[in-house]
Protein backbone atom coordinates (compact mmCIF):
# COMPACT_ATOMS: atom_id res chain seq x y z
CA UNK A 1 0.00 0.00 0.00
CA UNK A 2 1.44 3.46 -0.93
CA UNK A 3 2.45 5.63 1.98
CA UNK A 4 -0.12 8.35 1.11
CA UNK A 5 -2.95 5.82 1.15
CA UNK A 6 -1.84 4.43 4.51
CA UNK A 7 -1.77 7.95 5.91
CA UNK A 8 -5.27 8.69 4.57
CA UNK A 9 -6.59 5.48 6.06
CA UNK A 10 -5.03 6.33 9.41
CA UNK A 11 -6.66 9.77 9.31
CA UNK A 12 -10.09 8.31 8.41
CA UNK A 13 -9.82 5.74 11.20
CA UNK A 14 -9.01 8.48 13.67
CA UNK A 15 -12.01 10.53 12.50
CA UNK A 16 -14.36 7.53 12.90
CA UNK A 17 -13.06 6.84 16.39
CA UNK A 18 -13.57 10.46 17.36
CA UNK A 19 -17.11 10.64 15.91
CA UNK A 20 -18.42 7.34 17.27
CA UNK A 21 -18.51 8.20 21.01
CA UNK A 22 -20.31 11.48 20.30
CA UNK A 23 -23.11 9.82 18.27
CA UNK A 24 -23.44 6.99 20.83
CA UNK A 25 -23.82 9.56 23.59
CA UNK A 26 -26.74 11.26 21.79
CA UNK A 27 -28.85 8.11 21.24
CA UNK A 28 -29.64 7.07 24.87
CA UNK A 29 -30.39 10.65 25.90
CA UNK A 30 -33.03 11.18 23.18
CA UNK A 31 -34.54 7.70 23.75
CA UNK A 32 -34.96 8.41 27.46
CA UNK A 33 -36.63 11.74 26.73
CA UNK A 34 -39.27 9.94 24.62
CA UNK A 35 -39.98 7.20 27.15
CA UNK A 36 -42.32 6.79 30.11
CA UNK A 37 -42.09 4.53 33.13
CA UNK A 38 -45.02 2.40 34.29
CA UNK A 39 -44.89 1.68 38.03
CA UNK A 40 -47.67 -0.58 39.37
CA UNK A 41 -48.69 0.25 42.93
CA UNK A 42 -51.33 -2.29 43.95
CA UNK A 43 -53.72 -4.96 42.67
CA UNK A 44 -57.18 -5.61 44.16
CA UNK A 45 -59.42 -8.65 43.68
CA UNK A 46 -62.84 -7.02 43.26
CA UNK A 47 -64.35 -10.36 42.14
CA UNK A 48 -62.65 -13.77 41.99
CA UNK A 49 -62.60 -16.11 39.00
CA UNK A 50 -62.62 -19.21 41.20
CA UNK A 51 -65.49 -18.08 43.42
CA UNK A 52 -66.19 -21.59 44.76
CA UNK A 53 -62.53 -22.05 45.85
CA UNK A 54 -62.63 -18.58 47.48
CA UNK A 55 -59.12 -17.93 46.11
CA UNK A 56 -57.42 -17.02 42.84
CA UNK A 57 -53.79 -17.50 41.92
CA UNK A 58 -52.82 -14.49 39.85
CA UNK A 59 -49.85 -13.23 37.89
CA UNK A 60 -49.46 -9.99 36.00
CA UNK A 61 -47.36 -9.31 32.91
CA UNK A 62 -46.27 -5.68 32.62
CA UNK A 63 -44.57 -5.10 29.26
CA UNK A 64 -41.82 -7.72 29.34
CA UNK A 65 -41.75 -8.13 33.12
CA UNK A 66 -43.73 -10.42 35.43
CA UNK A 67 -45.27 -9.99 38.88
CA UNK A 68 -44.75 -11.50 41.37
CA UNK A 69 -42.04 -13.11 39.20
CA UNK A 70 -41.78 -15.36 36.17
CA UNK A 71 -43.63 -18.70 36.61
CA UNK A 72 -45.02 -17.77 40.02
CA UNK A 73 -48.40 -16.41 41.12
CA UNK A 74 -49.84 -14.58 44.13
CA UNK A 75 -53.00 -15.75 45.89
CA UNK A 76 -55.96 -13.39 46.26
CA UNK A 77 -59.03 -13.70 48.46
CA UNK A 78 -62.15 -11.71 47.61
CA UNK A 79 -61.56 -8.01 48.21
CA UNK A 80 -57.85 -8.45 48.96
CA UNK A 81 -55.30 -5.82 47.87
CA UNK A 82 -51.63 -6.58 47.40
CA UNK A 83 -48.87 -4.02 46.97
CA UNK A 84 -46.68 -4.36 43.88
CA UNK A 85 -43.20 -3.07 44.48
CA UNK A 86 -41.04 -5.19 42.23
CA UNK A 87 -42.09 -4.20 38.70
CA UNK A 88 -41.18 -1.00 36.87
CA UNK A 89 -41.16 -0.93 33.09
CA UNK A 90 -39.99 1.74 30.66
CA UNK A 91 -42.10 2.16 27.52
CA UNK A 92 -42.85 4.41 24.59
CA UNK A 93 -46.30 4.97 23.03
CA UNK A 94 -48.16 2.35 25.11
CA UNK A 95 -47.55 -0.59 27.42
CA UNK A 96 -49.32 -3.97 27.28
CA UNK A 97 -50.73 -5.42 30.52
CA UNK A 98 -51.91 -9.02 30.89
CA UNK A 99 -53.63 -10.47 33.97
CA UNK A 100 -53.59 -14.26 34.28
CA UNK A 101 -55.21 -16.75 36.66
CA UNK A 102 -52.85 -19.64 37.33
CA UNK A 103 -54.21 -23.19 37.09
CA UNK A 104 -52.39 -26.42 37.81
CA UNK A 105 -51.48 -28.80 34.99
CA UNK A 106 -53.13 -30.22 32.91
CA UNK A 107 -55.43 -27.17 32.98
CA UNK A 108 -54.12 -24.17 31.05
CA UNK A 109 -53.80 -20.80 32.75
CA UNK A 110 -56.67 -18.37 32.16
CA UNK A 111 -55.95 -15.02 30.53
CA UNK A 112 -58.40 -12.78 32.37
CA UNK A 113 -57.83 -9.65 30.28
CA UNK A 114 -55.37 -7.61 28.21
CA UNK A 115 -55.24 -3.84 28.67
CA UNK A 116 -53.04 -1.07 27.31
CA UNK A 117 -51.96 2.16 28.96
CA UNK A 118 -50.70 5.00 26.75
CA UNK A 119 -48.30 7.81 27.54
CA UNK A 120 -51.17 10.23 27.99
CA UNK A 121 -52.61 12.97 25.78
CA UNK A 122 -52.53 16.59 26.87
CA UNK A 123 -51.02 15.52 30.19
CA UNK A 124 -47.94 13.64 29.07
CA UNK A 125 -45.96 11.46 31.47
CA UNK A 126 -42.93 13.50 30.48
CA UNK A 127 -44.43 16.72 31.82
CA UNK A 128 -46.15 15.38 34.91
CA UNK A 129 -46.57 11.88 36.40
CA UNK A 130 -50.18 10.72 36.54
CA UNK A 131 -52.10 7.90 38.27
CA UNK A 132 -54.14 5.29 36.44
CA UNK A 133 -56.64 2.64 37.52
CA UNK A 134 -56.84 -0.27 35.11
CA UNK A 135 -59.69 -2.79 35.34
CA UNK A 136 -59.29 -6.40 34.17
CA UNK A 137 -62.33 -8.62 33.70
CA UNK A 138 -63.37 -11.78 31.90
CA UNK A 139 -67.01 -11.35 32.91
CA UNK A 140 -66.46 -13.44 36.06
CA UNK A 141 -63.23 -12.21 37.62
CA UNK A 142 -62.65 -8.49 38.13
CA UNK A 143 -59.33 -7.01 39.22
CA UNK A 144 -58.23 -3.40 39.66
CA UNK A 145 -54.63 -2.31 39.13
CA UNK A 146 -53.44 1.07 40.39
CA UNK A 147 -50.26 2.49 38.92
CA UNK A 148 -48.28 5.66 38.27
CA UNK A 149 -47.02 6.70 34.83
CA UNK A 150 -44.09 9.09 34.93
CA UNK A 151 -40.99 10.10 33.03
CA UNK A 152 -38.53 7.27 32.32
Residues forming contacts to Ca ion in the complex (CB under 5 A) are: 47, 51, 57, 101, 103, 110, 140
φ and ψ at residue 56, rounded to 5 degrees: -110, 155
Q: How far is CA 53 from CA 77, 89, 104, 119, in A?
A: 9, 33, 14, 38
Output the smallest distance, CB 52 to Ca ion, in A: 9
Show the CA angle centred on residue 39, arms to residues 122 and 136, nearest 5°.
Answer: 85
Closest CB to Ca ion among residues 34, 140 = 140
Helix (H) or strand (E) holding 12: helix 3-34
Return d(Cα 20, Cα 131) in angstroms, integer. Answer: 40
Output the smallest distance, CB 41 to Ca ion, in A: 24
Closest CB to Ca ion among residues 57, 89 = 57
Output the smallest distance, CB 65 to Ca ion, in A: 22
Closest CB to Ca ion among residues 93, 140 = 140
Closest CB to Ca ion among residues 38, 100 = 100
Amino acid sequence: MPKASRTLRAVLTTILIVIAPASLAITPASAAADACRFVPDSLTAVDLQEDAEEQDEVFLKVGGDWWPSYLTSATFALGQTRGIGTVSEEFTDRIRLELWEDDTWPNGNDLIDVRYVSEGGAVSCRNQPFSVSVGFTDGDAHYLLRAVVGPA
